[in-house]
Chains A and B, each alone.
Chain A
Amino acid sequence: MNRQLRVSLKLKIFFSFGLFYLAAVGTITYLTIRSQKNLLLAQMGERAKAGINLMELSVSGALYKLDTFRLETIAREAKALPNVDYAYIFDNQGRIVGDFHADQRELFSTFTDELGKRIIRSNETVVDTQERKGILDISKPVKLGHERLGGIRLGFDLKPIEHEIAEATYRAVAVASVILILGLIVIFVITIRMIKPLEQLTLAAKRIEEGDLEYRVRIERDDEIGSLATAFDEMSERLMQREKELKESQNTLRRADRLSSLGLLTAGLAHEIRNPLVAIRTFTQLLPERYNDAEFRDGFQGLALKEVDRICGLINDLLSFARPSRPKVIQENMNDVVDGTIRILESEAKEKNVEIARDFTAGLPAVWIDREQMKQVFMNLILNAIQAMKRGGSISIATRPHSKDQSGQAGQFVQVEIQDTGMGIPEENLDHIFDPFFTNKDEGSGLGLSISHQIVQEHGGYITVESQAGVGTSFFVNIPVGKTARPPVNGQVSANEASLSHR
């Protein structure tokens, strides 16, 4: 659509300028040809007038005397005038008293054509250009004193003029064509030059819309387009700065959210750590007495190592979750990520008398995710489920492949379902549960689901929720298989990797 618009804009500008230019060149050419034609006709007219005036000097006396011999001679001498086709001398009655013409009119005959009937009564010089006949007819009354003696009528052949007009027309059209073609080329180049920055701006807007905030137009022009490009780049720079600040804020919020989640786990974790420590203490106290009991000693060693390893693993999980880590998007097995999260929460669940059941599908395709961010998502969802079952209950966590995107179109996803048997979410709240600072709990910031939703979106996935009051709630986290074009916040998907992704 954008492509079509760009082409359309180019065509519009090109055709607008082109048509205007065509009209201008056409008009100028037409006026030039007409002017040239009029000039040539005017020149012919002037020559005709000069010729008839010259003839009048010799005609007056002869016409006064009605010296028809002389008048006939004068008429025949008019042949010497350039391009003369016919010559008539007529008396004050309109009778022809001298002529030369192919039709050999009878002496003292009169004109039969309308122009002839008109000119014998005219007191003015009459110039009549008969382009269809190719004749310029000029007539002039001959007066002596106050007496109208008659007149002279000359016909000039327009063929030489028509030839000149045709040549002038061909020349004008040829020149106009060259000018037109050159002009259209210039207009085309100007159009391209005009549109190119707009295309660059459009591309830049698209790249920025896709998340490439470092993209810059860099058009250096000393005009409005240049100013627009500079403003666009400055806007992009500010946008990048805001985005950076926003990400920092988001990271802060997410870390706060993680720490908050850890805070909620403190009691359970303390219990989880204390129990093995108590067992180790008891065994350690009994060790001097039963030092020689090899079975006791071996059992103690195995148990102690096992409990210490478990505590170390738990602490490592907590540290990796709580520590500000550099985001890193890599291929992960979703089952491992979900299981790791469950391990942290199991003690808390046990504390709250909640059972967590795993229903993982083996052989799921790997997903490109930031493990810690994704664990935060599951942490929020599972903690919310635990908290939603104050009197205990069960949480069923299942993983499976999923083949539809958010709009129902085909896609390849890994789905994680977290289903609880809690009180459910009221229907009127379902549309708001992912809104920042929305919560039904007494404690909590209201950011957990919002951040989870944001993290999943940044991974190119989506979360849906199904809830029935009194029955429970199911959250479905869908993460696309393969790489997302838009990296998660501070994610490190390289440009090459991003280009391989699909949406």
Chain B
Amino acid sequence: MGAVRTFLLLFVFLQFPLFFNSSLFAAEGKVLVFGRVHDDPVRSIKDRQEFIDYLAAKLTPLGITAGRILVVEKMHLLAQALKEGKVDLFHDSLVPTLVLSKRTGSVPILRQWKYGEAEYAGIIVVKKNSGIKTLADLRGKVIAFDEPHSTSASVLPRMLLEEKKLKTVEIKTPGTVKPDVVGYVYGTDGNATNVLITGRADAAATIHREIERLKPEIRESLQVIGQTMSVPRQLMAVRKDLDPKIINAVKEILISMEKDPTGQGVLTRQQNTTKFDDIPPGSLAQFKSIDKFVFSSLGKEVDSW
């Protein structure tokens, strides 16, 4: 009996993606579905339900009756949903948006301001007493990144290091960094700064906002030795075959949200979004260079995202 039960549990767990197909996507139709890649569906849905409800309500004249959020743990699952037309729009930072765009043809339509910032940049920090003064000093050292597809705390810093001709190699075991390369590890809890502070790395990739949140004495002990290019804070994208009328309406509604008192409150509660605006035309070239780096330099690593 116990063995049968264990087998059934294992069988069901392995069929997990199919459950999404069979149960969660089954009731689509006039429902606007918002996609999200995250390992915490509860937090993801609670944070965004009000936002998607607002958007769906505004789209009622176009036949939209409700808004739902689909949370998946992996990017390839969201890509699958986008391809099958079961997710209508999503938002994410630049790199995941570019990856999904590349794989599914989804189209970034708006830039999303957060914390009053249209753009942000990644930075590389070290401890002031570490003796590391420049990026070049990182040779033979270990740098900590956030999760692999993090735009500001992983991809852009790696891109920066490559631009500085610094080769990065993932470190599986401590103390094995060769002198001519920069070893890297991923912050297991998604926060590379912690890895640096706790002495498990010599440098960390992060953003200014994260540094500012640290205790003053810790913050004062750190030093920025490099900064990446600035990129849009976040992007809103739609699946490639979404009705253009809906796309236009979505753009219109999101851009005007900041002028609507109700919409303004919804934006603030939705991860401190300030507003939505058009993507600056000059950003496209930047997107191409990042896209090239991701798919050429990171290679198969992207497939596991």
Which A residues contact B (CB, under 8 angstroms)?
Answer: 57, 60-61, 64-69, 72, 91-93, 97, 104, 107-108, 144-147
Contacts and interface: CB of A to CB of B under 8 A. Distances in A.
Contact of A144 (B5, B42, B67): B42
B87 to A, nearest CB: 14
Given A107-B9, A144-B45, A66 B19 contact: yes
B3 interface: no
Contacts of B23: 66, 91-93
Contacts of B57: none
Nearest to B67: A146
Q: How large is the interface on B (under 10, 10 to 19, 20 to 34, 35 or more residues)?
A: 20 to 34
A178 B269 CA distance: 64
B73 A65 contact: yes
B40 interface: yes
A104 B73 contact: no
A144 B42 CA distance: 7
10 contacts: A60-B41, A64-B42, A65-B73, A66-B16, A67-B16, A93-B23, A144-B45, A146-B67, A146-B68, A147-B45
A69 B1 contact: no
A69 B13 contact: yes
Interface of A (DSSP majority class): mixed
Contacts of B1: 104
Contact of B9 (A61, A68, A93, A144): A68
A65 B69 CA distance: 13
Contacts of A72: 9
Contacts of A104: 1
B68 A147 contact: yes
A69 B41 contact: no
Contacts of A107: 5, 8-9, 12
Contacts of B192: none
Contact of B69 (A61, A67, A145): A145
A144 B46 CA distance: 7
Q: Which 6 A/B pairs are nearest by Cβ-Cβ distance?
A: A64-B41, A145-B49, A145-B45, A60-B42, A68-B12, A66-B19
A65 B12 contact: no
Given A60-B42, A61-B41, A67-B13, 19 more contacts: A64-B41, A64-B42, A65-B16, A65-B41, A65-B73, A66-B16, A68-B12, A68-B13, A72-B9, A97-B12, A107-B8, A144-B41, A144-B42, A145-B45, A145-B49, A146-B49, A146-B53, A146-B67, A147-B68
Interface centre among A91, A108, A144, by most chain B C-beta atoms within 10 angstroms, is A144
B62 to A, nearest CB: 19
A56 to B, nearest CB: 10
Contacts of A67: 13, 16
A446 to B, nearest CB: 118
Contacts of B12: 66, 68, 97, 107
Interface in B30-80: 40-42, 45-46, 49, 53, 66-69, 71, 73
A24 B217 CA distance: 72
A108 B19 CA distance: 13
Contacts of A144: 41-42, 45-46
Given A64-B42, A104-B1, A146 B9 contact: no
Contacts of B69: 145
B89 to A, nearest CB: 16
A124 to B, nearest CB: 20
Contact of A146 (B5, B41, B66, B73): B66
Nearest to A60: B42
Contacts of A97: 12
B270 to A, nearest CB: 13
Contacts of A68: 9, 12-13
Contacts of B16: 65-67
A91 B12 CA distance: 13
Contacts of A92: 23
A320 to B, nearest CB: 128
A145 B68 contact: yes
A69 B49 contact: no
A64 B41 CA distance: 7
A495 B100 CA distance: 129
Interface centre among B5, B12, B13, B40, by most chain A C-beta atoms within 10 angstroms, is B12
Contacts of A145: 45-46, 49, 68-69
A147 B71 CA distance: 12
A61 B40 contact: yes
A326 B9 CA distance: 126
A108 B5 CA distance: 11
Contacts of A65: 16, 41, 73
A100 B119 CA distance: 51
Interface in B1-17: 1, 5, 8-9, 12-13, 16
A57 B46 CA distance: 12
Interface centre among B45, B66, B71, B73, by most chain A C-beta atoms within 10 angstroms, is B45
Nearest to B2: A104
A150 to B, nearest CB: 10
Interface string B87-109: 00000000000000000000000
A87 B179 CA distance: 57
B8 to A, nearest CB: 5
A108 B8 CA distance: 10
Nearest to B53: A146
A173 to B, nearest CB: 48
